Amino acid sequence: MYYRIGCLFLISVFLAIPSLASEIDGVYKTLNPEQGRLNQPIQQIRLSTDQTASPKTIRKIRCYPGCAAETYLHLTEASDLSGSDIYLSPVGDYLIRYADQIWINVIPNSELGNNRVWEYFMFINVYTRPESPKEIDQKKAAEFAITISKQLVEKKYTPSELNTTYYMLTPVYQQKKYQMQMSVQLKDNLMTLTLCDSCQKKHYQLAKKKSQVLQIPIYENEKGNIIVALDKGFIWAELNEKPGKEEWQIEWFFNIYSKDSELIKTLRTDNNKLAEIDRFLQKLSRHLIDGSVPETIISPDFMMLERIHFN
């Protein structure tokens, strides 16, 4: 009899654990460390402000591809700040939940050598319920981030211990694609590494046709952009014609849809490889300008490879 009672008690405890975890965090489901890490696309907008500027001045809003997934799985500390929970990740990042479905990551900008300057990373619908809204008031969110940052700079917070349960929020898949790009200006042969500003095009809707000029696959999306796969598909190049000019702007998409995370690290430091690809893209652009590359036919086929998270 006592054995049965003990079994029933243990069963009731195990059944209560999920509801307890749900009660602690409300929306999110638990994830055991043994189940692995999140490796799905992380979609975000980067919002940067400067504490030395006006509190209401937003320096820039842009995409940010350098998100490591494991940063947002392990939440081990929290404090109460401006009516919002502040979580501290294992790598020291502050994670703030804003408006229930929006996450803001606030980290010190060590590159500027000034601890009073902070950068704000706003994660919009990254880890959230699928039915959550897709739009937010960016102005209000920016003001909230600035308020948080001031208190962090002035150290007006007291971290408190939180349970060490692992959480994973449900990722939401959107149409936006975030990527690194390298612009090559053919006029003066300058290469500048930049970040994509909007990246809202529906790239990667591919056509099944090969160029007879360079013997490489040439793809076209529904907007007429030419897309080229280089190095066995680990590097993608998109060539966009500049309106009214006889030149092309070439954007390099490094490892955006690939599983080879080491390639980008090698490519960034291999000047010979960069020069080789630069010459190839210039050659291809000349063929596109003089019309020697045959037109492609748009296909409804999609090719979506796994996205790499840059460290």
Average pLDDT over the chain, rounded to whole?
A: 42
Residue 217: DSSP 8-state: B
Does 200 lie in the same domain as 131? no
Give the pLDDT confidence score for residue 229 in this predicted structure.
60
Does 186 lie in the same domain as 158? no
Report the domain count for the chain: 2
Distances (CA, A) of 262 to 234, 269, 270, 304: 10, 12, 12, 20
Does 60 lie in the same domain as 141? yes
> Does the pTM of the predicted model rise above 0.85?
no
**168-198, pLDDT tens digit by residue?**
222 222 222 223 333 333 333 323 323 233 3
- Strand, coil or helix: what is 249? strand
Residue 48 neighbours by CB distance under 10 Å = 18
Which is nearest to 93 in space by CA: 127, 54, 55, 119? 119
**7-62, pLDDT tens digit by residue?**
544 444 333 333 322 222 222 222 222 222 232 223 333 333 333 333 332 222 22
Does 159 lie in the same domain as 86? yes
Does 81 lie in the same domain as 24? yes
Say which residue, 216 or 178, is predicted with more confidence: 216
Both structure tokens of 26: 């409300």
Sheet holding 118-124, edge to edge: 60-62, 45-48, 118-124, 102-108, 94-98, 84-88, 77-81, 160-161
Does 157 lie in the same domain as 270? no
Phi first, then psi: what are they for 23, rounded to 5°? Answer: -70, -35
Both structure tokens of 53: 């500027």
Asked whether residue 298 is assigned to any structural domain, the reply reads: no
Residue where a domain terminates, one of 168, 196, 211: 168
Does 84 lie in the same domain as 63? yes
Asked whether residue 155 is assigned to any structural domain, the reply reads: yes
Give the pLDDT confidence score for residue 209 in this predicted structure.
34
Q: How confident is the model at residue 167 (pLDDT cuts 50, 70, 90)?
A: very low
Q: How confident is the model at residue 102 (pLDDT cuts 50, 70, 90)?
A: low
Does 246 lie in the same domain as 213? yes
Q: How confident is the model at residue 235 (pLDDT cuts 50, 70, 90)?
A: low
Inform me whether the pLDDT recorded for 223 exceeds 60.
no
Does 21 lie in the same domain as 160? yes
**237-284, pLDDT tens digit by residue?**
655 554 444 444 444 443 233 334 555 556 556 767 666 666 666 666
Does 215 lie in the same domain as 96? no
Does 243 lie in the same domain as 148? no
Asked whether residue 303 is assigned to any structural domain, the reply reads: no
Q: Supply the range of the domain harboring residue 258.
A: 180-289
Asked whether residue 127 is assigned to any structural domain, the reply reads: yes
Does 155 lie in the same domain as 57? yes
